[in-house]
Amino acid sequence: MKYDFRGAEPNRRHIGPGDIRAATPDRPLVCLTAYTAPVAAYLDPVCDLLLVGDSLGMVIYGMDGTVGVTLDMMIAHGRAVTRRARHACVVVDLPAGSYEDGPGQALESARRVMAETGADAVKLEGGIAVEASIAALVGDGIPVLGHIGLLPQHAEEGFRIQGRGEDGARQVLEDGLAVERASAFAVVIEGTVEPVARRVTEALSIPTIGIGASAACSGQILVTDDLLGLYDGHLPKFAERYADLAGTIREAAQRWTDDVRSRAFPAERNTYAERPAGKV
């Protein structure tokens, strides 16, 4: 079931996985996370891709990590984002526990996401380990965005930068080649040393989307809540704050609190007068 984009602005073309696959080096891909309908609407005009990431576990639900996010949670937020996205390609993460058992489980989960959200594609973590599952999804007509390097869903001992040493570099490259062989339309490279991310980008024919990787990647993605200064947890080195919305929220709440306690709010303009008899 494909989302109906008939409400799109005139002359504004929806970007699909094929468009992402055809990205050229002269126009880096712009990608951000979105978890709610309003934020999707704000970001949609400037983004090529909106990711409904399982990072919502931390930034929305206050979890310590992404493990614990459920498929139902991803579907609910995915549906919210597709309701307002008219331009960007919308991708929904398959959460931990929804695909690792093999192609059968991955297909069941991905079919639910696609049918119940109207997203353009799904994303799952891993390279060689999930090559067969990616191939099965693509064979079923479900576009897949890969994810290699640092895999938050599988970082049982904490987040560690990937690609260090010959073995580490070889693993990231082999994972990237596996994702490409399985016909993913692009791949996220997360938390990987810069020279390795650069070499992987040069070695693959599909676009790479970096997050803590390299400026040489075909595009970049960040968690929007980090970008806007909304997340109150650890800000990773690769993130950059372009705004301080948390400060704006605190200031607005304090001003309203002061007005309520001084009885300046509600003012007359915020209340309703009784209508004269006979008036409608």
Provide the pLDDT for residue 3: 31
Neighbours of 190 (CB within 10 A): 23
175 is an annotated ligand-binding site residue? no
123 is an annotated ligand-binding site residue? yes
125 is an annotated ligand-binding site residue? yes
Mean pLDDT of 213-221: 97
Whole-angstrom distance between the N-terminal and C-terminal Cα of the chain?
45
Average pLDDT, the chain: 93
Beta strands in 115-262 (DSSP E): 121-123, 144-149, 186-190, 208-211, 219-222
Count helices and strands (H / E) in the chain. Answer: 10, 8
Asked about 268 being catalytic, the answer comes back as: no
Give the tens place of pLDDT for each residue, 38-85.
Answer: 999 999 999 999 999 999 999 999 999 999 999 999 999 999 999 999
Neighbours of 277 (CB within 10 A): 5
Active-site position among 174, 180, 190, 240: 190
pLDDT at position 218 over 80? yes
